[in-house]
Amino acid sequence: MKLGFIGVGKMGAPICRNLIKHDHAVTVHDTSPEAQARLTSAGGTAGASPADVTRKSDVVFTCLPYPHIVEEVVLGQNGIAEGIHEGLVAVDFSTNDPGIVRTISAELAKRGVPFLDAPVAGGVPGAESGTISVMVGGDKAAFDKVLPLFKAVGKNIYHVGASGSGAVFKILNNLLGFCNMAAANEAFMVVSKLGLDVDKFLEVIENSSGGSHALERHRRKVLKGNFTAEFTIDLAYKDLGLALKLGEESGVPLQFAGMLKHIMMEGRAIGIGHEDLCAMMRVLEHNVKHEVRSAKR
Protein backbone atom coordinates (compact mmCIF):
# COMPACT_ATOMS: atom_id res chain seq x y z
CA MET A 1 0.00 0.00 0.00
CA LYS A 2 1.35 3.42 -0.99
CA LEU A 3 1.06 6.05 1.73
CA GLY A 4 1.29 9.82 1.93
CA PHE A 5 2.09 11.88 5.02
CA ILE A 6 1.64 15.66 5.26
CA GLY A 7 2.99 17.41 8.36
CA VAL A 8 6.04 15.82 9.97
CA GLY A 9 6.55 17.99 13.03
CA LYS A 10 6.97 16.85 16.64
CA MET A 11 4.13 14.30 16.47
CA GLY A 12 3.92 13.65 12.74
CA ALA A 13 7.58 12.77 12.31
CA PRO A 14 7.72 9.80 14.72
CA ILE A 15 4.35 8.49 13.48
CA CYS A 16 5.60 8.69 9.91
CA ARG A 17 8.87 6.99 10.83
CA ASN A 18 6.94 4.08 12.32
CA LEU A 19 5.04 3.64 9.05
CA ILE A 20 8.36 3.62 7.18
CA LYS A 21 9.78 1.09 9.67
CA HIS A 22 6.87 -1.22 8.82
CA ASP A 23 8.13 -1.26 5.21
CA HIS A 24 5.47 1.04 3.78
CA ALA A 25 6.38 3.32 0.88
CA VAL A 26 5.66 6.81 2.20
CA THR A 27 5.64 10.08 0.25
CA VAL A 28 6.20 13.00 2.62
CA HIS A 29 5.46 16.71 2.46
CA ASP A 30 6.06 19.50 4.97
CA THR A 31 6.33 23.28 4.67
CA SER A 32 9.65 22.98 6.55
CA PRO A 33 12.32 21.68 4.14
CA GLU A 34 14.40 20.55 7.14
CA ALA A 35 11.54 18.49 8.60
CA GLN A 36 10.83 16.94 5.22
CA ALA A 37 14.51 16.13 4.69
CA ARG A 38 14.69 14.29 8.01
CA LEU A 39 11.93 11.95 6.87
CA THR A 40 13.34 11.40 3.40
CA SER A 41 16.63 10.50 5.11
CA ALA A 42 14.66 7.95 7.13
CA GLY A 43 13.38 6.28 3.97
CA GLY A 44 10.50 8.44 2.77
CA THR A 45 10.14 10.09 -0.63
CA ALA A 46 9.66 13.84 -1.00
CA GLY A 47 6.35 15.14 -2.35
CA ALA A 48 6.07 18.55 -3.98
CA SER A 49 2.68 19.48 -2.50
CA PRO A 50 -0.30 17.90 -0.71
CA ALA A 51 -1.91 17.30 -4.10
CA ASP A 52 1.25 15.59 -5.39
CA VAL A 53 1.46 13.40 -2.28
CA THR A 54 -2.20 12.43 -2.65
CA ARG A 55 -1.88 11.41 -6.31
CA LYS A 56 0.86 8.96 -5.29
CA SER A 57 -0.98 7.46 -2.29
CA ASP A 58 -3.66 4.93 -1.43
CA VAL A 59 -4.00 6.45 2.04
CA VAL A 60 -2.96 10.03 2.81
CA PHE A 61 -2.37 11.18 6.40
CA THR A 62 -2.23 14.70 7.81
CA CYS A 63 -0.81 15.71 11.19
CA LEU A 64 -1.00 19.49 11.54
CA PRO A 65 -1.09 22.03 14.39
CA TYR A 66 -4.30 24.01 13.76
CA PRO A 67 -7.77 23.25 12.31
CA HIS A 68 -7.61 26.03 9.72
CA ILE A 69 -4.33 24.59 8.43
CA VAL A 70 -5.93 21.15 8.00
CA GLU A 71 -8.81 22.73 6.09
CA GLU A 72 -6.40 24.62 3.82
CA VAL A 73 -4.20 21.56 3.21
CA VAL A 74 -7.22 19.42 2.30
CA LEU A 75 -9.46 21.86 0.42
CA GLY A 76 -7.11 24.70 -0.61
CA GLN A 77 -4.95 25.29 -3.66
CA ASN A 78 -2.67 22.32 -4.43
CA GLY A 79 -4.42 20.54 -1.58
CA ILE A 80 -5.47 16.94 -1.07
CA ALA A 81 -8.79 17.51 -2.86
CA GLU A 82 -6.92 18.33 -6.07
CA GLY A 83 -5.13 14.99 -6.00
CA ILE A 84 -7.94 12.62 -5.04
CA HIS A 85 -8.59 9.47 -7.03
CA GLU A 86 -10.63 6.29 -6.80
CA GLY A 87 -9.87 4.14 -3.77
CA LEU A 88 -8.22 6.91 -1.75
CA VAL A 89 -8.78 7.26 2.01
CA ALA A 90 -7.81 10.50 3.81
CA VAL A 91 -6.92 10.38 7.51
CA ASP A 92 -6.29 13.31 9.83
CA PHE A 93 -4.20 12.68 12.96
CA SER A 94 -4.53 16.34 14.06
CA THR A 95 -6.50 17.63 17.04
CA ASN A 96 -9.21 19.26 14.95
CA ASP A 97 -12.44 21.20 15.30
CA PRO A 98 -15.36 18.75 14.92
CA GLY A 99 -17.20 21.27 12.74
CA ILE A 100 -14.26 21.58 10.35
CA VAL A 101 -13.94 17.79 10.33
CA ARG A 102 -17.56 17.45 9.21
CA THR A 103 -17.10 20.14 6.54
CA ILE A 104 -14.05 18.41 5.09
CA SER A 105 -15.72 15.01 5.30
CA ALA A 106 -18.78 16.26 3.43
CA GLU A 107 -16.69 17.89 0.69
CA LEU A 108 -14.57 14.79 0.10
CA ALA A 109 -17.62 12.52 0.26
CA LYS A 110 -19.04 14.38 -2.76
CA ARG A 111 -15.99 13.10 -4.64
CA GLY A 112 -16.22 9.56 -3.29
CA VAL A 113 -13.38 9.82 -0.75
CA PRO A 114 -13.86 8.94 2.95
CA PHE A 115 -12.22 11.22 5.51
CA LEU A 116 -11.38 9.84 8.96
CA ASP A 117 -10.69 12.10 11.93
CA ALA A 118 -8.14 10.09 13.89
CA PRO A 119 -6.50 12.26 16.57
CA VAL A 120 -3.90 10.61 18.77
CA ALA A 121 -2.99 10.69 22.46
CA GLY A 122 0.22 9.71 24.19
CA GLY A 123 2.52 12.58 23.32
CA VAL A 124 5.88 12.48 21.59
CA PRO A 125 7.15 9.53 23.70
CA GLY A 126 4.10 7.48 22.71
CA ALA A 127 4.49 8.44 19.06
CA GLU A 128 8.14 7.40 19.12
CA SER A 129 7.44 4.06 20.80
CA GLY A 130 4.36 3.28 18.69
CA THR A 131 2.09 3.14 21.74
CA ILE A 132 -0.23 6.09 21.09
CA SER A 133 -3.99 5.77 21.35
CA VAL A 134 -5.94 6.56 18.17
CA MET A 135 -9.59 7.59 18.39
CA VAL A 136 -11.27 7.45 14.99
CA GLY A 137 -14.48 8.98 13.70
CA GLY A 138 -15.96 8.35 10.27
CA ASP A 139 -16.91 5.56 7.88
CA LYS A 140 -16.46 2.13 9.47
CA ALA A 141 -15.47 0.42 6.19
CA ALA A 142 -12.72 3.01 5.68
CA PHE A 143 -11.61 2.50 9.29
CA ASP A 144 -11.36 -1.26 8.72
CA LYS A 145 -9.25 -0.66 5.61
CA VAL A 146 -6.81 1.59 7.48
CA LEU A 147 -6.77 -0.42 10.73
CA PRO A 148 -3.52 -2.30 9.97
CA LEU A 149 -1.81 1.07 9.48
CA PHE A 150 -3.20 2.39 12.75
CA LYS A 151 -1.82 -0.72 14.45
CA ALA A 152 1.60 0.04 12.96
CA VAL A 153 1.75 3.35 14.83
CA GLY A 154 -0.40 2.85 17.93
CA LYS A 155 -1.37 0.45 20.67
CA ASN A 156 -4.99 1.30 21.49
CA ILE A 157 -7.15 1.86 18.40
CA TYR A 158 -10.81 2.83 18.72
CA HIS A 159 -13.58 3.51 16.22
CA VAL A 160 -15.73 5.91 18.25
CA GLY A 161 -18.57 6.93 15.91
CA ALA A 162 -19.51 9.15 13.01
CA SER A 163 -17.40 11.90 11.46
CA GLY A 164 -16.20 14.36 14.11
CA SER A 165 -16.50 11.88 16.99
CA GLY A 166 -12.78 11.25 17.17
CA ALA A 167 -12.16 15.00 17.41
CA VAL A 168 -14.67 15.32 20.27
CA PHE A 169 -13.07 12.46 22.20
CA LYS A 170 -9.57 13.92 21.74
CA ILE A 171 -10.54 17.43 22.79
CA LEU A 172 -12.14 16.15 25.99
CA ASN A 173 -9.21 13.81 26.65
CA ASN A 174 -6.91 16.83 26.48
CA LEU A 175 -9.19 18.82 28.78
CA LEU A 176 -8.92 16.06 31.40
CA GLY A 177 -5.15 15.95 31.01
CA PHE A 178 -4.86 19.73 31.42
CA CYS A 179 -7.02 19.64 34.57
CA ASN A 180 -4.98 16.80 36.05
CA MET A 181 -1.73 18.64 35.40
CA ALA A 182 -2.96 21.92 36.91
CA ALA A 183 -4.20 20.14 40.04
CA ALA A 184 -0.93 18.23 40.37
CA ASN A 185 1.03 21.49 40.07
CA GLU A 186 -0.83 22.94 43.05
CA ALA A 187 -0.36 19.80 45.12
CA PHE A 188 3.39 19.68 44.42
CA MET A 189 3.68 23.37 45.25
CA VAL A 190 2.10 22.85 48.67
CA VAL A 191 4.40 19.90 49.40
CA SER A 192 7.46 21.90 48.40
CA LYS A 193 6.43 25.03 50.34
CA LEU A 194 6.01 22.89 53.46
CA GLY A 195 9.57 21.64 53.04
CA LEU A 196 8.54 18.04 52.33
CA ASP A 197 10.14 15.65 49.84
CA VAL A 198 8.59 16.15 46.38
CA ASP A 199 10.25 12.98 45.07
CA LYS A 200 8.69 10.91 47.82
CA PHE A 201 5.34 12.62 47.20
CA LEU A 202 5.55 11.65 43.52
CA GLU A 203 6.31 8.03 44.46
CA VAL A 204 3.37 7.87 46.85
CA ILE A 205 0.83 9.54 44.54
CA GLU A 206 1.79 7.44 41.52
CA ASN A 207 0.65 4.44 43.57
CA SER A 208 -2.41 6.07 45.13
CA SER A 209 -5.86 7.31 44.14
CA GLY A 210 -4.52 10.79 43.32
CA GLY A 211 -2.35 9.46 40.51
CA SER A 212 -2.84 10.34 36.85
CA HIS A 213 -0.97 10.26 33.56
CA ALA A 214 -0.02 13.91 34.17
CA LEU A 215 2.47 12.76 36.81
CA GLU A 216 4.63 11.21 34.11
CA ARG A 217 5.41 14.71 32.89
CA HIS A 218 6.22 15.83 36.43
CA ARG A 219 8.76 13.01 36.75
CA ARG A 220 10.40 13.62 33.36
CA LYS A 221 10.19 17.38 33.13
CA VAL A 222 8.71 19.58 35.90
CA LEU A 223 10.81 18.36 38.81
CA LYS A 224 13.93 18.60 36.63
CA GLY A 225 13.12 22.13 35.49
CA ASN A 226 12.98 20.96 31.87
CA PHE A 227 10.27 22.87 30.02
CA THR A 228 11.52 22.22 26.49
CA ALA A 229 8.42 21.85 24.35
CA GLU A 230 6.92 18.54 23.38
CA PHE A 231 3.42 20.05 23.31
CA THR A 232 3.32 23.79 23.85
CA ILE A 233 1.09 25.94 26.03
CA ASP A 234 0.09 27.75 22.83
CA LEU A 235 -1.20 24.51 21.28
CA ALA A 236 -2.89 23.53 24.54
CA TYR A 237 -4.60 26.94 24.57
CA LYS A 238 -5.94 26.18 21.09
CA ASP A 239 -7.29 22.81 22.25
CA LEU A 240 -8.82 24.42 25.33
CA GLY A 241 -10.65 26.84 23.05
CA LEU A 242 -12.07 23.87 21.14
CA ALA A 243 -13.22 22.33 24.45
CA LEU A 244 -14.94 25.55 25.51
CA LYS A 245 -16.65 25.69 22.10
CA LEU A 246 -17.93 22.13 22.63
CA GLY A 247 -19.25 23.16 26.03
CA GLU A 248 -21.15 26.07 24.49
CA GLU A 249 -22.57 23.90 21.70
CA SER A 250 -23.72 21.20 24.12
CA GLY A 251 -25.00 23.59 26.79
CA VAL A 252 -22.53 22.34 29.41
CA PRO A 253 -20.71 24.96 31.53
CA LEU A 254 -17.07 23.84 31.62
CA GLN A 255 -15.97 25.60 34.78
CA PHE A 256 -12.54 23.97 35.08
CA ALA A 257 -11.82 24.82 31.45
CA GLY A 258 -12.54 28.44 32.23
CA MET A 259 -10.01 28.45 35.08
CA LEU A 260 -7.41 26.73 32.90
CA LYS A 261 -7.90 29.37 30.24
CA HIS A 262 -6.76 32.05 32.67
CA ILE A 263 -3.69 30.01 33.70
CA MET A 264 -2.68 29.52 30.07
CA MET A 265 -3.38 33.16 29.21
CA GLU A 266 -1.10 34.18 32.06
CA GLY A 267 1.61 31.85 30.78
CA ARG A 268 1.35 33.39 27.34
CA ALA A 269 1.40 36.88 28.87
CA ILE A 270 4.69 36.22 30.70
CA GLY A 271 6.23 34.87 27.50
CA ILE A 272 6.26 31.10 27.97
CA GLY A 273 3.57 30.09 25.47
CA HIS A 274 6.26 28.40 23.36
CA GLU A 275 7.33 26.17 26.28
CA ASP A 276 5.91 22.77 27.14
CA LEU A 277 2.43 22.46 28.62
CA CYS A 278 3.98 21.45 31.93
CA ALA A 279 5.34 25.02 32.16
CA MET A 280 1.96 25.86 33.63
CA MET A 281 3.91 25.12 36.82
CA ARG A 282 6.05 28.15 36.00
CA VAL A 283 2.93 30.34 36.14
CA LEU A 284 2.26 29.11 39.67
CA GLU A 285 5.93 29.52 40.58
CA HIS A 286 5.85 33.06 39.22
CA ASN A 287 2.86 33.91 41.41
CA VAL A 288 4.07 32.16 44.58
CA LYS A 289 7.75 33.09 44.12
CA HIS A 290 8.88 29.54 44.80
CA GLU A 291 10.34 26.82 42.53
CA VAL A 292 9.34 23.16 42.77
CA ARG A 293 12.30 20.95 41.89
CA SER A 294 13.62 17.49 42.72
CA ALA A 295 16.64 17.21 44.98
CA LYS A 296 17.84 14.50 42.57
CA ARG A 297 17.89 16.58 39.40
170 catalytic per annotation: yes
Q: What is the pTM (predicted TM-score) of this model?
A: 0.95
Q: Which domains does the chain have, with CATH numbers?
A: 2-161 (3.40.50.720), 168-288 (1.10.1040.10)
Checking if the pLDDT of 297 tops 90, the result is: no
The answer to whether residue 294 scores a pLDDT higher than 90 is yes
N-terminal to C-terminal alpha carbon distance within the chain: 46
Q: Is the pLDDT of residue 56 over 80?
A: yes
| pLDDT tens, residue by residue, 123-154 | 999 999 999 999 999 999 999 999 999 999 99
Residue 296 pLDDT grade (very low, low, confident, very high; cuts 50, 70, 90): confident
What is the mean predicted confidence (pLDDT) over 102-115?
98
pLDDT band at 252 (very low <50, low <70, confident <90, very high): very high
Mean pLDDT for 23-45 is: 97
pLDDT tier for residue 195 given thresholds of 50, 70 and 90: very high
pLDDT tens across 147-185, in order? 999 999 999 999 999 999 999 999 999 999 999 999 999
Residue 222 predicted with pLDDT over 90: yes
* Active-site entry in 110, 140, 151, 170: 170
